[in-house]
Structure 1
Amino acid sequence: MTARGGLSDAELARLMNEMREGPRPTAPAALPASPAHDALLSFSTLPRFAELRTQSAAAEVLGIENPYHRLHEARAGAVSRMAGREIVNFASYDYLGLNGDPRITRAVVEAAEAWGTSVSASRLSAGERPAHRALEEALAGVYAAEDALAFVSGHATPLAVLPTLMGPKDLIVTDALMHNSVVLGAQYSGATRRSFPHNDLDALEAMLARDRDHFARVLLISEGLFSMDGDGPDLKRLVALKQRFGCWLMIDDAHGLGVLGRTGRGLAEHQSVDPRGVDIWFGTLSKTLVSCGGYIAGPSALIAYLKAFAPGMVYSVGLPVPVAEAARTALAILLEEPGRVAHLQANSIAFRDGAAAAGFDVGTSWGTGIVPVMVGETIKTVLLAQKLLERGINAFPVLPPGVPDRSARLRFFISAAHRPEHLDAALYALREEGARLGIVGF
């Protein structure tokens, strides 16, 4: 199919993705020996810089605004302000509406006054602070784990952990839709890497039956709640498979914590599975816990090993105390106020069912926190997001290769702080603009 401006949908998807990511790194060309090499010192001479200009020109011809890196002029929760006007925001991970909660802000201020804004160096060399241990004890409690460990970056956590645990004699098997951080961590580990079709545990079982005995250690990895599709795996069966074939099991619960389960304890609570059946729980502090960083929860031997050998712990600065206290306080509120979780889940179901009733394809979403509206074509997805924003609704377009070809979508993050009128306004605008673009019923 050819989109506007003579670009195919695949070409347009690539263009929009490169607008988001910028030019790909390339090997630098050898500099000439003559003084003329000074002309190459301008960054505008980099091999793919011209593509940036081409992309901007093509987007202008197509009437597309760059949807990436938009400026927010207020705290971006259920509502935000962009270009001087208030918008309803569906592009925030603040699932429980805790960002800016006075209790969290007060804890951050008190921590900064007492401890400053840095712990100066890695925890191995500069030592730990009580906030580190308090946060990790609370995180371990969520998963009934023996211990936990907090890292300064959620994305960097698997990059530090997987190469520390796995090597060339080992196998890492992931869901095909696994998050980029896990994919990169698996690549850096040097282990053999395989993937199975999304949530297809029959395929996983067949793969293990065929290949398990060829490797020393095997690590299975899936997500508690997939951020692009809003669904998740059958955890009980994953635990059974890892026990049958003698594997470790790791679950990325970054989007599950605070969203899934009666009290927001994640996938294990959602499916009534003993969380101790999972060897490695991975998550982030930047979503429900409205802070920044990542964490691992599991057996004490695992945590001791990572503290001693994981590069992201040994060579990286520890969490600033205010950051750790923000996450710990948010986690305490989550556990003390399960009504927030119930409200989030009710909002999510209402929005998913409303979109489906209007004729939109919501994929396999469970209707908990994340609701995709499947569009298919890149051009229509970007235009739909643009039309919604013009009407005060901010929903982010997700395009290939971030999702499989022909499955471009708008991704709606639902919050406990969204009011009924927010959901109604979004659904109303979605119906009207979707009809104009011929998207309903895709």
Structure 2
Amino acid sequence: MTIEGRQLVNFGWCDYLGLSNHPEVLSAARSAIDAFGSCISASRMISGSLDMHQQLEAELAEFFGFENSLMFVSGHAANVSTIATLVSKGDLVIHDEFVHNSAIVGARLSGAEIKTFKHNNLESLVRLLLRNRDSFRNVLIIIEGLYSTEGDCVDLSSLIEIKEKFGCWLMVDDAHGVGVLGESGRGVAEYTGVDARKIDVFMGTLSKSLASCGGFIAGNAELIEILKYSSPAFVYSVSLPPAMTAAALASLRILKSERERVQRLHDNCQLFFRDCRARGFDTGTSIGVGMVPIIVGSVKNTGKLLERMYEQGFNPSPIIYPGVRINAGRLRFFISSEHSVDELQSCAEALSR
């Protein structure tokens, strides 16, 4: 990438599979523009639904292991609108302390009571359920599949047992797990060996591994039918533009046909992860897949390291308070299947200078 005339190796984008410049993805987007124009200025409910939209939803559902799915023009809006549709006053939302802002906003708008459990700490979750489950009609537990600030995952199998024992719904925001986690990129369910259908509400994004924009919700047919007629971000929003729909569909098909991209991503991640740990850097609880955090501490020290990386030709993604705790500032390195071994090794070496 180029910043102020200087070329840098980019570690700041979530183009995990390198599909944003894939010839087939670009060709599909161009063809869609030629066929349908740059946008569809109507909601799906009125006259804005294309066969291509329905085809993408069907293929997303099939790939990730669900009965159906529904697309939204924004991943953030998909979370906000879905949560606010499914729960309301008299219900309870319990979420991991590190879930994405969109989940928190959706919970607040829903009118449900909200409680937070410690990150990936299932004992903390169980204590909350023991104290509160009987006082609420419905309980929705919200987690992420691959946490974008920590780079780690929950013990999903144990979490499924807990939600079934207490009669709760489970929503998984797997925005960073789509195309990244699991042998074939099917996300956190595949990575942890869990039947995806045990997840009640599955959220994925189209804007990272699938090289497009927007988000989707997948689940059983009843869930999707409810959202299709009740979720404001679907009912009252224009549909996903043709180029973005075609790009996502082409990307999904490449993901299915070129599984070596996922393996190459995993290999690159582990190379960089091992190199950083061998050099003594704090990677926290990261599993070393997709995003590798280098935890620095203070805002000042995070800024200094970021500046040094810029000077040496690398562009990581900084995150500081309130995105993380006050003294847990870090640089995040989003790894791609297309990074070269030399780029990865040179970046790890640059961190040490």
Give the alignment's TM-score, normalised by structure 2: 0.99
1:171 pairs, out of 84, 89, 92, with 92
1:360–1:374 contact (8 Å) kept in structure 2 = yes
Provide the residue aligned with 1:49 in structure 2.
Answer: none
Q: List per-residue Cα deviations over 1:226-250 (Å, max 9, x = no partner).
A: 0001001111011111110101111
Q: SS where residue 241 of structure 1 aligns?
A: helix
Q: List per-residue Cα deviations over 1:422-441 (Å, max 9, x = no partner).
A: 01111111001xxxxxxxxx
Provide the residue aligned with 1:148 in structure 2.
Answer: 69
Q: Within 2, Cα distance between the matches of 1:206 and 1:139?
A: 35
Q: SS where residue 123 of structure 1 aligns?
A: coil
The letter for the 2-side match of 1:274 is D
Q: Within 2, Cα distance between the matches of 1:221 and 1:162?
A: 9
Provide the residue aligned with 1:196 in structure 2.
Answer: 117
1:339 pairs, out of 260, 269, 290, with 260
Provide the residue aligned with 2:31 in structure 1.
Answer: 110
2:75–2:214 contact (8 Å) kept in structure 1 = yes
Give the alignment's TM-score, normalised by structure 1: 0.79
Q: Within 1, Cα distance between the matches of 2:242 and 2:317?
A: 32
2:274 pairs, out of 353, 373, 380, with 353
Provide the residue aligned with 1:58 in structure 2.
Answer: none
1:213 pairs, out of 119, 134, 144, with 134
Provide the residue aligned with 2:156 in structure 1.
Answer: 235
1:281 pairs, out of 197, 202, 214, with 202
Q: Within 2, Cα distance between the matches of 1:411 and 1:301?
A: 38
1:83 deviates by 2.1
Provide the residue aligned with 1:390 in structure 2.
Answer: 311
The letter for the 1-side match of 2:324 is V
Q: SS where residue 374 of structure 1 aligns?
A: strand
1:143–1:276 contact (8 Å) kept in structure 2 = no
Q: Within 1, Cα distance between the matches of 2:121 and 2:4?
A: 44
Q: Within 2, Cα distance between the matches of 1:379 and 1:264?
A: 36
Deviates further, 154-163 or 414-423:
154-163
Provide the residue aligned with 1:371 in structure 2.
Answer: 292
2:215 pairs, out of 294, 309, 312, with 294
Q: SS where residue 248 of structure 2 aligns?
A: helix
1:193 deviates by 0.3
Matches within 5 A, 1:52-201: 80-201=1-122
1:140–1:148 contact (8 Å) kept in structure 2 = yes
Q: SS where residue 124 of structure 1 aligns?
A: coil
Q: Within 1, Cα distance between the matches of 2:317 and 2:180?
A: 20
The letter for the 2-side match of 1:417 is E
Q: SS where residue 368 of structure 1 aligns?
A: coil
Q: Within 1, Cα distance between the matches of 2:64 and 2:19?
A: 21
2:276–2:348 contact (8 Å) kept in structure 1 = yes
The letter for the 1-side match of 2:344 is L
Q: List per-residue Cα deviations over 1:47-74 (Å, max 9, x = no partner).
A: xxxxxxxxxxxxxxxxxxxxxxxxxxxx
Q: Within 2, Cα distance between the matches of 1:320 and 1:89?
A: 27
1:183 deviates by 0.5
Q: List per-residue Cα deviations over 1:205-254 (Å, max 9, x = no partner).
A: 12112210100000011011000010011110111111101011110010
Question: Greater relative contact order (Cα 8 A, min sep 6): structure 1 or 2?
Answer: 2
Provide the residue aligned with 2:171 in structure 1.
Answer: 250
Q: Within 2, Cα distance between the matches of 1:94 and 1:109?
A: 20
Q: Within 1, Cα distance between the matches of 2:138 and 2:274?
A: 43
Matches within 5 A, 1:3-18: none
- What percentage of residue pairs aligned between the two structures are identical? 46
Q: List per-residue Cα deviations over 1:175-222 (Å, max 9, x = no partner).
A: 000000001000000000011000000111121122101000000110
The letter for the 1-side match of 2:85 is T
2:48–2:238 contact (8 Å) kept in structure 1 = no
1:387 deviates by 1.1
2:43–2:234 contact (8 Å) kept in structure 1 = yes
Q: Within 1, Cα distance between the matches of 2:101 and 2:286?
A: 20
Q: Within 2, Cα distance between the matches of 1:420 and 1:143?
A: 30
The letter for the 2-side match of 1:273 is V
Aligned residues between the structures: 353
